[in-house]
Structure 1
Amino acid sequence: MKIYLKSYIYLLIFNSLGLIPLQVKSQNITSPNIVLIYADDLGYGDISSYGGDIPTPHIDNLAKNGLKFTNAYAAAATCTPSRYAMLTGEYAWRKKGTGVAPGDATSLILPGSTTLPGVLQKAGYKTAVVGKWHLGLGKKAPVNWNKDIKPGPLEIGFDYAYLLPATGDRVPTVFVENHRVVNRDPEDPITVSYLKNLNEGPTGSKNPEQLKMMYSHGHNQSITNGISRIGYMSGGEKALWQDEDIADVLINKSVGFIEENKDSPFFLYLATHDIHVPRVPHKRFAGTTGKGARGDVIVQLDYTVSAVQKKLKELGLEENTLLIFTSDNGPVLDDGYVDGAAERLAEHDPFGNFRGGKYSTFEAGTRVPFLVQWKGKVKSNQESTALMSQVDFLRSFATVTGQNLPKDIAIDSQNHWNALIGKQAKGRKSVVQQAIRNVLSYIEGNYKYIEPHSGPSMVPWGVEIETGFNQEPQLYNLKKDPGETENLASKMPEKTKEMEAALNKIRDSKVLGKSTTD
Structure 2
Amino acid sequence: MKNLLLTTTCLATVTACTTAKKEVTPQKPNVLIVYVDDLGFGDVGINGAKGVQTPHVDRLAKNGVNFTDAHCSAATCTPSRYSLLTGSYAFRNQAAVLPGDAPLIIDPNKGTLASMLKDAGYTTGVIGKWHLGLGMGQVNWNEEVKPGPKEIGFDYSFLIPATGDRVPCVFLENQRVVGVDPNDPITVSYSSRVDGLPLGSEHPELLKQQADPQHSNTIINGISRIGYMSGGEKALWKDEDFPFVLTEKAKTFMTENKDNPFFLYFAFHDIHVPRVVNEQFVGQSTMGPRGDAIAQMDWCVGQLVKQLEDLGIAENTLIIFSSDNGPVLDDGYADMAVELVGDHQPAGPFRGAKYSIYEAGTRMPTIVYWPGKVTPKVSSAMLTQVDLYASLAKLAGQEIAPGDAPDSQDHLDAWLGKTETGRESMLEEAYTFALRKGDWKYIKPQTGGTPDWMKNKQVESGLEDVPQLYHLKDDLQESVNLAGNYPELVEEMAAELEKILQ
Q: How far apart are residue 442 of structure 1 and its match?
A: 0.4
Deviations 1:336-369 (A, max 9, x none): 0000111101111001121110011111100000
Deviations 1:86-130 (A, max 9, x none): 10000010113x100100001111222110011110010011000
- Report the equivalent of 2:490: 496
Deviations 1:435-469 (A, max 9, x none): 03xx1100001100000001333562521101111
- Report the equivalent of 2:400: 405
- Report the equivalent of 2:379: 384
In structure 1, what is the Cα distance between the partners aligned to 2:451 and 2:381?
A: 31
- Report the equivalent of 1:26: none
In structure 2, what is the Cα distance between the partners aligned to 1:104 and 1:447?
A: 40
Which one has the bigger helix percentage? 2
1:379 alignment partner AA: T
Match of 1:477 among 460, 471, 482: 471
In structure 2, what is the Cα distance between the partners aligned to 1:288 and 1:161?
A: 31
Tell me, yes or no, if structure 1 residue 173 matches structure 2 residue 169: yes
In structure 1, what is the Cα distance between the partners aligned to 2:268 and 2:162?
A: 12
- Report the equivalent of 1:507: 501
Indicate conservation of the 8 Å contact 1:194/1:231, yes or no.
yes
In structure 2, what is the Cα distance between the partners aligned to 1:447 and 1:80?
A: 27
- Report the equivalent of 2:441: 448
In structure 1, what is the Cα distance between the partners aligned to 2:129 and 2:24?
A: 31
Q: Which aligned pairs between 1:2-17 and structure 2 lie closer than 5 A?
A: none
* CA-atom RMSD in angstroms: 1.3
Aligned residue for 2:253, secondary structure, equals helix
- Report the equivalent of 1:68: 66
Indicate conservation of the 8 Å contact 2:440/2:471, yes or no.
yes
1:405 alignment partner AA: I
- Report the equivalent of 2:12: none
Identity %: 53
Q: How far apart are residue 201 of structure 1 and its match?
A: 3.5
Deviations 1:146-183 (A, max 9, x none): 11100100111100000000000000000000120000
In structure 1, what is the Cα distance between the partners aligned to 2:181 and 2:107?
A: 28
Indicate conservation of the 8 Å contact 1:459/1:467, yes or no.
no
Q: How far apart are residue 195 of structure 1 and its match?
A: 1.0
- Report the equivalent of 1:126: 123
Indicate conservation of the 8 Å contact 1:42/1:330, yes or no.
yes
Q: How far apart are residue 407 of structure 1 and its match?
A: 5.6
Moved more, 401-410 or 462-471: 401-410
Aligned residue for 2:453, secondary structure, equals coil
Deviations 1:173-224 (A, max 9, x none): 0000012000000000000001111016411111101111111352000000
1:171 alignment partner AA: V
1:379–1:459 Cα change, 3 Å: farther
TM-score scaled by structure 2?
0.94
- Report the equivalent of 1:197: 193
Tell me, yes or no, if structure 1 residue 335 matches structure 2 residue 328: no
- Report the equivalent of 1:95: 93
Tell me, yes or no, if structure 1 residue 255 matches structure 2 residue 251: yes
Match of 1:306 among 276, 295, 302: 302
Aligned residue for 1:218, secondary structure, equals helix
Aligned residue for 2:157, secondary structure, equals strand
In structure 2, what is the Cα distance between the partners aligned to 1:265 and 1:345?
A: 42
Indicate conservation of the 8 Å contact 1:458/1:464, yes or no.
no
- Report the equivalent of 2:44: 47
Match of 1:138 among 135, 140, 145: 135
- The structure with more radius of gyration: 2
The alignment of Structure 1 onto Structure 2 pairs a total of residues equal to: 479
1:367–1:217 Cα change, 3 Å: farther
1:55 alignment partner AA: Q
Deviations 1:252-271 (A, max 9, x none): 00011000000000011000
